[in-house]
């Protein structure tokens, strides 16, 4: 079966996890069951009213978020936290550069899953420097909620079971970065290709929160695609969004 062929039991169309891609590892791995509340086809763009920016200015072109500032953080409080996608057109570097709390001036964009707050979340980041790479990390600071409480503390990089380099970003290019949790496994895709998959530990899996996005020192027009939260679950209270 060719890459991109239909496969049963995947979490969603953007996060196919058991396609017969020609790689022995993927052919041998059974497709895990979908988590309740995130079904195939449920991802849809978050509306401007449903997207809270905790860092950066609100600037929308229609339903698309226009990212021009060096530091942008956003979350969809009413979204399910186990799956999201960022559909974007890259516009190059932001006009200004801002260093991270660690002191680095990194260019990157990506997703936040189970984003309880600014101190506790799962990050799926497409890094541009020094070479294109997709990295997954967790930020865990029990008891802390906002950046003033935790700063750059609590980050732990997650080692992948399998990965592939992402394409090099050039201005004008359009891509979709998607990520989803299936059981204890996280699968990330860029466009139609799996670029990262690996398992999260119990501390990361204990997180609860919605999905969101993060950018640093890049400019782009973007849509955050999310799934609705489970029925009966009210939007989560997020510092900076209350």
Within-domain flag for 34 = no
Q: In the prediction, which pLDDT does 19 show?
A: 33
Please report the pLDDT score of residue 69 as a whole number: 95
Residue 166 predicted with pLDDT over 80: yes
Residue 235 pLDDT more than 90?
no
CATH number of the domain bearing residue 167: 2.60.120.560
Distance of alpha carbon 88 from its chain centroid, rounded? Answer: 13
Residue 192: per-residue pLDDT: 85
pLDDT tens string 150-165: 888 999 999 999 999 9
Q: Give CA torsion, residues 23, 24, 26, 32, to 10 deg.
A: 170
For residue 26, tell me if it sits in a domain: no
| Closest among 114, 62, 66, 55 to 88, alpha carbons compared | 66
Q: Is the pLDDT reported for residue 226 higher than 50?
A: yes
Helix (H) or strand (E) holding 196: strand 193-199
Domain residue limits at 139:
41-228
pLDDT at residue number 101: 74
As for how many domains the chain has, the answer is 1
**CA-closest candidate to residue 220, choices 117, 76, 110:** 110
pLDDT at 26 over 60: no
Q: Is the pLDDT of residue 93 over 70?
A: yes
Mean pLDDT of 34-49: 68
Most confident among 102-106, 206-210, 231-235 (mean pLDDT): 206-210
User: How sure is the predictor about 41, in pLDDT bands with cuts at 50, 70 and 90?
Assistant: low
User: Span 109-133, mean pLDDT?
Assistant: 94
Count of alpha carbons within 13 angstroms of residue 171, beta-carbon side: 6
Residue 28 in any domain: the answer is no
Report yes or no on 222 lying in a domain: yes
pLDDT at 89 over 90: yes
Percent over 90 (pLDDT), the chain: 63
In a domain, 172, yes or no: yes
Q: Is residue 10 part of a domain?
A: no
Q: Is 48 part of any domain?
A: yes
Task: Specify if 184 maps to a domain.
Answer: yes
């Amino acid at each position: 079966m060719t890459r991109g062929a239909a496969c049963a039991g995947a979490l969603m169309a953007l996060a196919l996890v058991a396609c017969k891609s020609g790689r022995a590892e993927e052919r041998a791995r059974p497709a895990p069951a979908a988590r309740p509340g995130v079904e195939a086809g449920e991802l849809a763009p978050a509306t401007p009213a449903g997207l809270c920016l905790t860092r950066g200015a609100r600037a929308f072109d229609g339903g698309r978020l226009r990212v021009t500032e060096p530091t942008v953080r956003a979350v969809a409080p009413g979204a399910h936290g186990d799956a999201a996608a960022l559909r974007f057109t890259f516009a190059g570097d932001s006009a200004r550069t801002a260093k991270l709390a660690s002191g680095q001036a990194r260019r990157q964009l990506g997703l936040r899953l189970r984003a309880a707050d600014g101190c506790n979340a799962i990050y799926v980041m497409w890094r541009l420097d020094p070479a294109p790479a997709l990295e997954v990390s967790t930020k865990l600071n029990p008891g802390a909620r906002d950046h003033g409480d935790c700063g750059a503390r609590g980050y732990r990089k997650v080692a992948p079971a399998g990965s592939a380099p992402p394409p090099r970003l050039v201005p004008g290019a359009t891509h979709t970065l998607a990520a989803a949790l299936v059981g204890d496994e996280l699968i990330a895709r860029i466009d139609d290709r799996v670029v990262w998959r690996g398992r999260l530990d119990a501390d990361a899996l204990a997180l609860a929160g919605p999905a969101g996005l993060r950018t640093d020192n890049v400019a782009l027009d973007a849509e955050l695609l999310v799934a609705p939260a489970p029925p009966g679950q009210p939007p989560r209270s997020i510092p900076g969004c209350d």
